[in-house]
Amino acid sequence: MSSATCLGCEEQKRRKGEKFYFVDNIPNPLLVINNLRQTYNAKKRKLVEVSNIPPKSKVCHKCYKLSKKPCLSMSHSDPNVPDLSIYRKGNNCHLGCTFGCKDIENLISVPNMIRHELLMNYKFLAKRDARMCSKHVGITNYWPLVKQVSQEVSAEEQKMVSDLMYEYYQQLKNNDKLVFNIDKIDSIDDETFKTWFSYDKEEFHQICSFTKTCEPKHVAVFLCKLRTALSNTQLAFLFGVCERTIANHMNLARKDLHNNLVPKFINYNDRSVLIAHNTPMAKTLFDIPDDKACSIFDATYRLAQKSKNYAGQKQLWSEQKKMPLVKPMVGCSPDGWVLGPFDATHNDATILKDCFSRYSDKMSIIHENDIVLLDRGFRDVVNFLTTNKKLHVYCPGLGQLDTIEANTSRFVTKCRWVIEQVFGRLKKKFKIFSVPAHNATLADDYESLLIAFALLNLFHKPILSDQSHEDIAHIMKSRVNVPNRLKVVAQEFNLSQVKSPYLELEYRAIDNEENNRQLQFPQLTMDDLYYLSLGPYQIRNAISYYAEHQKEGIFLVRKFEPNPRHPTAALVYARYGISVENPLLVKAYMKSRYRSGKHHHIFVLIDKTKTGRDSVTEYYCTCESGARTVGCCSHVMTIVWFLGYGQYHGIHVPNPDICNISITISKEQNQGN
């Protein structure tokens, strides 16, 4: 029986009736023969390409039929027309891995980045709806998986291959502008890196050094989520992966950091660390021994979404805010080193009392005779802390405080503001905690909060005040028992109510030469103001108070000039222990910043024979803390700041356009309607 060898598949055909065709009858024979050999080579047949066609060469019937396909008669030098004969395609089933794995573990959609990698590097087509095992994500070599698949790409799927190639090249063009390469995090420039991930590269790698199971890219995605509060869809676009991959990366990083980073920097019961974070200010004001610690407690809150789970909705509901929220209790040292947070939702006093019982192991770092600083919201738990826990508790009182109480309250606020600064650092660095929590992630948010505070402790920068005025603490301590003599004068002569002994001076503009000539208020420096208030807070508030009253045309200053027949003419300051040679008593009226119907009366006594801060002899305000002599309240500072400093140095009103956002209906218009 005659036989012949096919030039395409190089098989000898001996079967009866086998048809052979001369290669000369095939259009573009050299290209077709080599394409045929590539097709068989994809099936593990080692055939060598031919450079010329021997005379009278033949092909078998099977190869002749294949030669009629358009894909074998095309030249593949055109990148828009891929050679499909060398591509494989994976399974396209929602219930199985595209690589045909028998052991299916957590199927996910094949991320676009992996689809591109498989196509360009491994000639493997994973369709858009294909699934893959989650364990395959991020591996470095896909060849062992690709070799398991033998399905060829059909001619009908040519457009799918071309489109995916086009998508890949388009992404390459836009990669630097739109997408972070999740596998090359270090390729991001330093400034952009810190903007998106909260920390620079050196700090980022220090964070990664505490992980054991996750990779740097997982930590990067998690930090980006904390930093930006973007949705998973937005993060998927940012990193060029699918949403499921983003969720997996965050879960891996959160669990790893919670298990390995948090225990090293949060609640690890090393009392020496807490004592080391005492500040000179706190030690001076509260006479803290070297072996005792000072702790500041307060609760912050984060709004939550409404839920159809009514039991959970009731548990999260806050009667004070009239909305659902989570309210963790946080403690810190006087320089901002964080203790906690402790998960809770009730009022401040109830939460703190519960923390000592529910978190007894973590709260054991606080010993007897330690100092605890609280705000007014904790007044109901003061007795428990002092009697049961033997702690020294300092908590401001309510209502108009006497001078000693007001001075002690000033000691507390001088140190307690640090906890507010800690909350500010948290929400500025990790914006996710400043937006409402999503119900789907609420269960994981407590772990994220622990990690965030652990990171703040890892890169802790002490929060210190008055670094340029180191003697402030000693000045405050020396004035704690100084009485407010002007308060006695104002109450005895009823200076808040009488009107006749005053000359009204209206300050509507900065140019107040005539008023200043009559008043003769001394000019002061910023340093003078600082030593009067004993801190920057009241000075910052002064401009806001002034702007409100000046805008409403009610910034009035009254000079005390009693008529000889008026009872106030009998006022002699020396009788009240006030030493002043040439007195100038200034009175002002100021509205409360919190309640529109409440106002305060401010009195400032000046000795015109003196200069600078020595000229301010006495001051008093009818507000809650206005009787103190350790510093002054914001109302007193507003008057002293404007008359002695602000009007001579220009005034920049903060955010002036905010008053034009909403329409305010005056009381007169409302009554007229």
Instruction: Please give the pLDDT value at position 346.
Output: 63
Residue ranges covered by each domain of the chain: 4-67, 88-174, 185-263, 269-437+462-471, 483-654
Q: Which residues does residue 108 pair with via DSSP β-bridges, in sequence order?
A: 132
What are phi and psi for residue 488, nearest 5 degrees?
Answer: -65, -40
DSSP state letter for 645: I
Q: How confident is the model at residue 310 (pLDDT cuts 50, 70, 90)?
A: confident
At 217 the pLDDT is 92
Is pLDDT of 77 > 60? no
**Across 638-655, average pLDDT:** 80
Across residues 364-369, what is the average pLDDT? 88
pLDDT higher than 60, residue 177: no
Query: Can you spell out the DSSP letters for 384-398?
Result: HHHHTS--EEE---S
Least confident interval from 174-188, 320-334, 441-455, 516-530: 174-188
% of the chain exceeding 70 in pLDDT:
83
Could you tell me if 558 and 504 are in contact, meaning their C-beta atoms sit under 8 angstroms apart?
Answer: yes
Whether 667 has a pLDDT exceeding 60, the answer reads no
Contact criterion met (CB below 8 Å) for 101 and 78: no
Q: Are 465 and 539 spatial neighbours (Cβ–Cβ below 8 Å)? A: no
480/534 Cα distance (integer angstroms): 13
603 to each of 353, 491, 504, 531, how far by Cα in Å?
A: 41, 11, 14, 18
Q: How many CA atoms lie within 13 A of 573 on its CB side?
A: 17
Per-residue confidence (pLDDT) for residue 74, from 0 to 100: 47
Q: What is the rounded average pLDDT for all residues in the chain?
A: 81
Residues 131-140, mean pLDDT to the nearest whole number = 82
∠ CA 13-15-21, nearest 5°, is: 50
Q: What is the pLDDT of residue 78?
A: 44
Answer whether residue 46 shows pLDDT above 60. Answer: no
pLDDT per residue over 288-306, tens digit each? Answer: 999 999 999 988 888 888 8
Mean pLDDT over 426-442 rounds to 89
**Nearest of 70, 72, 65 to residue 29 by alpha carbon:** 72
pLDDT at position 449 is: 93
Task: State yes or no: pLDDT of 421 exceeds 70.
Answer: yes
| SS3 labels along 222-282 | HHHHHHHCCCHHHHHHHHCCCHHHHHHHHHHHHHHHHHHCHHHHCCCCCHHHHHHCCCHHH
The Cα 463–Cα 471 span in angstroms is 17
CB 423 within 8 A of CB 163: no
- pLDDT band at residue 312 using 50, 70 and 90 as cut-offs: confident
Q: Facing residues of 144 across strands?
A: none
Question: Do residues 356 and 364 lie in contact, with contact meaning Cβ atoms separated by under 8 Å?
Answer: no
Q: For residue 51, what pLDDT band results from cuts at 50, 70 and 90?
A: low
Give, in degrees to the nearest 5, the angle at Cα 196 between 190 and 202. Answer: 40
Position 353: which residue type? K
pTM, two decimal places: 0.69
What's the pLDDT at 257?
A: 96
**590-601 confidence digits (pLDDT tens):** 887 777 678 889
Q: Are 131 and 110 contacting, i.e. CB atoms less than 8 angstroms apart?
A: yes
Q: Half-sphere exposure (CA, 13 Å, Cβ side) for 635?
A: 26
Q: List, in sequence order, every beta strand (DSSP E) within 440-582.
A: 502-506, 556-560
Question: Confidence band (pLDDT; 50, 70, 90) for 432?
Answer: very high
Lowest pLDDT segment from 35-49, 142-156, 258-272, 310-324:
35-49
| Token pair for 159 | 């457009």
The 10s digit of each residue's pLDDT in 20-33 is 777 777 776 766 77
For residue 80, pLDDT beyond 50? no
Domain 185-263 in CATH 1.10.10? The answer is yes
pLDDT for res 317: 83
Contact 301, 327 (CB under 8 A): yes
Asked if the model's pLDDT at residue 70 lies above 80, the reply is no
Two tokens, residue 592: 């409360």
- Which of the pair, 472 or 397, is modelled with greater confidence? 472
Non-local (6+) Cβ contacts of 265 within 8 A are 454, 455, 457, 458
Q: What is the pLDDT of residue 185?
A: 83
Residue 204, both tokens: 């980022």
Higher pLDDT, 384 or 16: 384
Report which of residues 462 and 665 the model is more confident about. Answer: 462
pLDDT of 240 above 60: yes
Instruction: Render pLDDT for 500-525 as a digit per residue (tens, 0 to 9).
Output: 777 777 665 555 677 777 788 899 99
Between CA 60 and CA 11 the distance in angstroms is 9
pLDDT in tens, 552-585: 666 678 888 877 777 777 788 888 999 999 888 8
User: Is 70 exceeded by the pLDDT of residue 624?
Assistant: yes
